[in-house]
Structure 1
Amino acid sequence: MLNRNEMAALSIHDGLDQGDDKDDEPTVINYTCLINLITQQAPRGEAGRLYHEDGIKLNEIKEIRVEFLRILKIDHLWIMTNLVKLSLSHNKIEKIENLDALVKLCELDISFNSIKIMENLNCLSKLEILLLAGNQVETVEGIGNLTNLTIFSIANNKIQGWEHVLYLRQFKNLRSVNFTGNPCTLQENYNDYLIAFLPQIIYFSYSMIREEDRIKAMKIHRRSIAKIELDEAKSQSTLEEEHALNKKSAIDSAAFVDHLDGDEMFLLLFLNDKEGTALKNISDDTLAVFNEYKTNFSTVCHEFYQFGIEQHSLREKEIEMFSAIVEEARDAVRDKARRIIDSIEKYKNENFAKFNVGIKEFDKKLDAESAVDQTDLPIDVKIAKIQNITENFNEFLSSIWTKLVYSEAVLHEQIEDVNETFKLNIADMKDIFVESTRKSFSRMRNILVEYHDTIQRVIASHLNDFTQDELTMPSQLIDICGDINILSNTLASSHDIHLQIIDSREDETISSVNKWFNDLVTRLRKHENSRHRHRILEISHVLQYYRELLQKHILTTNDEALDVVAALEG
């Protein structure tokens, strides 16, 4: 924040014009440039006087025009986080950049520059008006996130193709576009094409589109429009399905049960088990055994999946409840601290007023023999009065520091207690999930053993039929079950593959949930310790600010203040 004295010290030409001999020299947006522009664009009259006396707060400015300044590079705008309207027109800007912090920006005018590429604009999600006329842009791109876009002007650029028309269909709030002066507008039927394929547009080149022109254009392109709408409907349906799948996948992963809903886990058992896959097709009986294995195994997986999702929901509710309790406690302390800080402001104003009176005259409440003009008194009398006010103010600040630090210390202890209770609750939930994991995977292993025994018995019986009938076994089966020993080895290998996958997934699940728990507890502890240290430091900085404010006030009150302070320091 700059006060009026600091603003007066700034040269009006710093960061702007540097003299007639440098009229063609490009410059950049810098801090001084912004201050000068804000000073020039501030309100006039009494409103302007109050505005300057309050001091310029860059983070509170909502509108600024940086025009006709030969700006080459955009910079320093990150300071102005509350900016709503920004004009950078008529400069020499070649690249759109450094706008990420302007998350509240609704209107951006960057016309008449040297921009070739539309980039770094997707961060401006609240943008409603985008003006890019008079540049060198060839492709409309890089604004897919600007869903609030209402007015878009890109006249007098170098756009030749018509791809931008279909690109702009996604902006459902778009009402006005201007492509005048681009090569594409000189091509036959361009206007009809744009009007037909952008039904949301009301104004084209700032002229209202007549209804008869819209109907005519849509008749010309009715078949193409129907195809586009069908493709968009399919695409939208696909996107919704993908979104739903992605959402489900994210929840499943957070619940540590991903790929356990359905047959995915079972199919994974046979992914690299070619011999085991071949065994199931020996006969109808082996296929029946396989299908029973699949049903029983997948049932256990699905039951564990449902349990995991339910447990995840319970954990999320516990976390939400914990967060609400902690935030409520923090809000209460913040409100109390805010009231205390307000009391500092009140005390400061009262004592600064007393200080001013102390410099000019004695307090009128003194007895009659002391009631004389303070300006005629010796310097030591003034020093004593200033010392008294300063000491009282510092004592008051010390008491405030004690109150704020005490409140923060109590809050810190309370949050640590809540953290410990939360840790125990989440630990119980985690242990319940781990126990269920072990039980479910134990069931999977039992089903595997049962399958191994059953399929071996069925295949052995089938081999016996071959021997009795003196038939020749198919060649593809000889290598995996030509006799009882080969069959036993094949089944043992298949069993080991399945068992390894089941054991590995069990270990991975338990390891993941334990890691999540440890990371959560560690993160909460670190966050609270960091917040607590930062808050203590913040309290100290605020009170130091008020102490420095008093010293500055002493320095700037009147002509004798320097002598008084010098005497105090001596």
Structure 2
Amino acid sequence: MSRLYDSIEPNVIDDEMLQKAVEEQGPQEEAGLLAKKEGINFKDVLALQLDFRNILKIDNLWQFKNLTKLQLDNNIIEKIEALDTLVHLVWLDLSFNNIEVIEGLDALVKLQDLSLYNNRISKIENLDTLQELQVFSIGNNNIQTLENVIYLRKFQNLRTLNLTGNPVCENEVYSAFIAAYLPDLVYLDFRLVDDNSREMALIKYQYAIEEMRHGETLALAKQQVLDAQQKQVEYHKRAYVEYLNGSFLFDSMFADDPEAAKLLYLPGVPELLEIYKTKFVAICENLFEYGLKQYEKREAEVALFYECLNEALEENHQQCSRILRDFEEKNHGVIDTIQNLSDNQVIEIKLAEYNYEITKLSDVLMTEEMLLVDQLEEVIKDFERNIADLVSNFIENEQGMMAQCRDLENQHHEKLLEISVNTLEKIVKSEFDEEMPDDVRMLFVDKDTIVNAVNASHDIHLLKIDNREDEIITKANGWASTLVEKVHKTEIQRNRSRVLEINQYVDHLRSELDNMDILET
């Protein structure tokens, strides 16, 4: 779709354009001049109008972090992009552009009103995260099928829809179909969906909708199960024991072992493997349960620490507030009093007294802060020691259980090797009558070949166990290290901020003295 200004050089969204747009839309006259002089922080801008500017590409809007309304209509934009930082956007107008695909809107979860009117879009898609959507205008595009509109059923807040001007609107059952499949819609193509039309539409499509609802119910139930499972997995990951509540580790050992399936043909191996699996899985499940209990202990320790920390901070805050309140009550009006004095000697005495009070206040507040630092240092040391003990204990026991897994693997390997050598001897003596696939029989050309195959299988299994053990240890130690580092860093920042706050307050009091207008006699 052509525009009068298509022959004009396309524009980019640069700082100059943005600054000009903000100034044009901001306060005018005296307030506007003041805003221009002082500068406008883009973070403070809530609405931005960039229409009719021949913009080809959306870019450079990351500075408008608090934007709620964005107008980009009547440009030559071809792709929806670079909007991820505008997470507070509620209203977005991209009408009258050259957009072909709906995309790039995933981060705009607060969006309520979206206009893509008069573009080149052929499919309604990629809007799943926009669950707050209430108004959607996608008229004058290339939407062909009624089935595509069913996609909008998932938006339970959608009340206004504009599809006028799309090929789909030429279908004779268009209005009835939309009214039936989008039962919560209030306005369609600028017209109220009346109750009678909706009732007739629901009767017409009753069976198809019932079948669809049944499918949606099943899909929802399935999704809820998947979500619950994923939530559980995330919980298990935080405990470093994900997928240890079953045969996952055991199965992975054999999934990556090309020789395992071949050795399974040997007599007695299936039974041997089943016994091995039962014992191995039991150890993994013990580790899983132990890991969850240890995770809860670590979480409880963290919660207790922050409870003690916040209690100490609150107590310090209350004490310092009392000190400041007493100071302000005692010295209320002292500056006015000094300014109204005419006796220089008395003024000097009063100034000295007030200076002393300020110095004493500074010393008391700094002392309180030093006491708090000492107190928190002890609390943090205890916490660090407790976390180290918990993690060390967890790792020690985890290593013990993994050692049990290795012992089982070693025992299994010895028995498998014994079976393999015995089978080779029978084959050499022509005493082995059981059928065996050609690739399995190739392992028994000589002793070295079969022994190497069994040992290779053993090495793969041990590596899997070792890697899982290392992963648990690395994550547990990493968590403890990161947590303690964060606690220390936060306390250092808190202390610096508090000292700065005290100094700024004291400096303010002294500056009031320095700026006093004392009467001269």
Normalised by the size of structure 1, how large is the TM-score? 0.68
Matched, 1:281 2:244: no
> Is 1:109 equivalent to 2:91 in the alignment?
yes
* Identical pairs, percent: 12
Q: Residues 184-238 of structure 1: CA distance to partner in whole angstroms, max 9, x if unpaired?
A: 6743343333222223434545765333322333344456545644654564455
Partner of 2:270: 291
Distance 1:179-1:216 versus aligned 2 partners, 3 A rule: same
Structure 1 SS opposite 2:333: helix
Secondary structure, counterpart of 2:90 in structure 1:
strand
Q: Deviation of residue 354 (structure 1)?
A: 1.6
* Separation (CA, whole Å) in 2 of partners of 1:440 and 1:245: 26
Residue from 146, 150, 159 that aligns with 1:176? 159
Query: Structure 2 vs 1, CA of residues 390 and 31 (structure 1 numbering), >3 Å: closer, same or farther?
Result: farther
Corresponding residue number in structure 1 for 2:193: 209
Q: Which amino acid in structure 2 is aligned with residue 319 of structure 1?
A: R
SS at match of 1:201: coil
SS at match of 1:538: helix
Amino acid corresponding to residue 169 of structure 1 in structure 2:
R
- In structure 2, relative to structure 1, the CA distance for the partners of 1:252 and 1:455 (3 Å cut) is farther
Call closer, same or farther: CA 1:69–1:553 in 2, change over 3 Å.
farther
Alpha-carbon distance in 2 for matches of 1:344, 1:206: 65
Tell me what 2:8 maps to.
none
Q: In the alignment, is the contact (CA less than 8 A) between 2:243 and 2:249 conserved in 1?
A: no
Residue aligning to 1:331:
310
Residue 448 of structure 1 and its aligned partner are, at CA, apart by 2.3
- Residue in structure 2 matched with residue 261 of structure 1 by the alignment: 246
Counterpart amino acid of residue 176 in structure 2:
D
Task: Compare 473-482 and 331-340 and name the one that shifted more.
Answer: 473-482
SS at match of 2:417: helix
Would the aligned equivalents of 1:351 and 1:389 in 2 still touch at CA under 8 Å? no
In structure 2, C-alpha distance between the alignment counterparts of 1:140 and 1:472, rounded to whole Å: 59
Structure-2 change in CA distance of 1:257 and 1:323 (3 Å): closer
Q: Say if 2:502 is the partner of 1:539.
A: no
Give the residue type in structure 1 aligned to 2:422: R
Deviation at 1:343, TM superposition (A): 4.2
The answer for the alignment partner of 1:452 in structure 2 is 417
AA partner of residue 294 (structure 1): L
Q: Deviations over 1:510-555 (max 9, x none)?
A: 3223323332332233112211210111102222332354466568
State which of 402, 415, 423 in structure 1 corresponds to 2:367: 402
Query: What residue in structure 1 maps to residue 407 of structure 2?
Result: 442
Matches within 5 A, 1:317-396: 317-340=296-319, 342-343=321-322, 346=325, 350=329, 353-358=332-337, 360-362=339-341, 385=350, 388-396=353-361
**Offset at 1:168?**
2.2
Contact 2:124 2:143 in 1 (8 A): no
Give the distance between the partners of 2:443 and 2:326, measured in 1 at CA.
93
The match for 1:166 among 146, 150, 155 is 150
Letter in 1 for 2:492: R
User: Matched residue of 2:113: which SS?
Assistant: strand
Residue of structure 2 equivalent to 1:420: 385
2:191 aligned with 1:191, yes or no?
no
1:300·1:444 contact (CA, 8 Å) conserved in 2? no
**Partners of 1:184 and 1:190 within 8 A in 2:** no
8 Å contact from structure 1 (residues 273, 494) kept in 2: no
RMSD after superposition = 4.7
Q: Structure 1 residues 263 and 214, CA, compared in 2 at 3 Å: closer, same or farther? A: same
Please state how far the C-alpha of 1:348 moved relative to its aligned partner. 7.4
Counterpart contact for 2:362–2:502, Cα < 8 Å: yes
Please tell me whether the aligned partners of residues 116 and 137 of structure 2 are also in contact (alpha carbons under 8 angstroms): yes
SS across alignment from 1:146: coil
**Counterparts of 2:442 and 2:176 in 1: how far apart (Å)?**
72
Task: Please state whether the residue corresponding to 1:144 is helix, strand or coil.
Answer: coil
Distance 2:25 2:496 in 1: 31
Task: Kindly provide the CA deviation profile for residues 457-492 of structure 1, in whole angstroms up to 9, marking residues without a partner as x.
Answer: 35644664659x9x999976764336xxx2x33431
Paired residues of 1:114 and 1:136 also in contact (CA < 8 A): yes
> Which residue in 1 is equivalent to 2:13?
none
Answer yes or no: is the 8 Å Cα contact 1:179–1:205 preserved in 2: yes
Match of residue 510 from structure 1: 469
Cα distance in structure 1, aligned partners of 2:356 and 2:96: 60
Distance 1:261 1:522, change over 3 A: same
1:432 maps to which of 397, 404, 407: 397
Q: 1:130 to 1:198 in 2, by over 3 A?
A: same
1:526 alignment partner, SS class: helix
1:307 match: 286
Residues 522 and 31 of structure 1: CA distance in aligned 2, closer, same or farther (over 3 Å): farther
Q: Which runs of 5+ in 1 are unaligned?
A: 1-24, 41-57, 363-373, 556-560
CA distance in 2, matches of 1:28, 1:69: 15
Structure 1 residue matching 2:293: 3-state secondary structure? helix
Taking structure 1 as reference, are residues 252 and 96 closer, same or farther at Cα in structure 2, changes over 3 Å only?
closer
For residue 34 of structure 2, what is the aligned residue in structure 1? none
Instruction: Confirm or deny: 8 A CA contact 2:49 2:71 kept in the other structure.
Output: yes
- Asked if the contact 1:329/1:411 (under 8 Å) is kept, the reply is no
Give the 3-state SS of the residue equivalent to 1:445 in structure 2: helix
Match of residue 367 from structure 1: none
Q: Is the 8 A contact 2:240 2:476 kept in 1?
A: no
Is 1:480 the counterpart of 2:464? The answer is no
- 2:443–2:453 CA contact under 8 A, matched in 1: no
**1:497 alignment counterpart:** 456
Give the length in aligned residue pairs. 481
Secondary structure of 1:331 counterpart = helix
Offset at 1:447? Answer: 2.1
Q: 2:510, 2:501 → 1: CA distance?
A: 15
CA contact (8 A) 1:153 1:177 kept: yes
Where in structure 2 are the equivalents of 1:7-26 lying within 5 Å?
26=17
Alpha-carbon spacing, 1:505–1:315, altered in 2? closer, same or farther (3 Å): same
- Alpha carbons of structure 1 residues 243 and 119: separation in structure 2 relative to 1, 3 Å: same
Aligned residues of 1:175 and 1:200 also touching (Cα < 8 A): yes
CA contact (8 A) 2:92 2:111 kept: no
Q: 1:474 to 1:191 in 2, by over 3 A?
A: closer
| Cα separation, partners in 2 of 1:386 and 1:203, compared to 1, 3 Å | farther
Letter in 2 for 1:262: S
